[in-house]
A and B are shown apart, each in its own frame.
Chain A
């Protein structure tokens, strides 16, 4: 079974402070991990995926298979980063499992 846990429902930081949104997963096979973001009154959109290994809007995330984690980090938070963030998992390409499993989300608020 696939499971994604985001332990923090709410996270509040000040502008310029570092931010880390936690994500832990459970999956016996090889996973693909994603972060999706939903800004106020906008639709859910892909922020980054671990296989791309790129930084989007200053955010990075490293897949740690030993700790089964995929935490999202940004060194200096901006007010425009305030949004709901969802971590999601999909079995690696191949096979017949196309299901994307989401965590419950973390609402990030960046205060001025």
Chain B
């Protein structure tokens, strides 16, 4: 089992552009959460997807949107990129209606986004 897979691993974009990040959850997991980790900070919750719907959202602007597909994979889209969006974006999967599951999240390695 490859665990949580994220692509791409690194990305450089220009201010104002749009970006799409992808995540395949661990086999058997049905819930996907996205986190933003700025340098020197802990991960910050962006949103969580369950049953193809956004179940909860953190304090992020509408420029951040997402999607979950029937196979439980997910995308994170960010429009009108700002320099401050430069960060590591982590995907975490889990199983269970409670959002976190019995064993907690399984994290991916992340996508490093640099906005120039």
Contact = CB atoms under 8 A, between A and B. Distances in A.
Interface residues of B, number: 27
A18 B101 CA distance: 32
A103 B42 CA distance: 6
B70 interface: no
Nearest to A104: B42
Interface stretch (B14-22, B61-69, B75-83, B103-111): B103-111
B40 A90 contact: no
A44 B58 contact: no
Considering residues A88, A98, A105, which has the most beta carbons from chain B within 10 angstroms of its beta carbon? A98
A102 B109 contact: no
Interface in A89-105: 90, 93-94, 96-105
A99 B92 CA distance: 12
B98 A98 contact: yes
B99 interface: yes
Contact of A46 (B44, B99, B105, B108): B105
Given A34-B104, A90-B100, A98 B43 contact: no
A111 interface: no
7 contacts: A43-B110, A44-B90, A90-B100, A98-B55, A98-B98, A102-B42, A103-B42
5 shortest interchain CB distances as A-B pairs: A98-B99, A102-B42, A46-B104, A44-B107, A99-B45
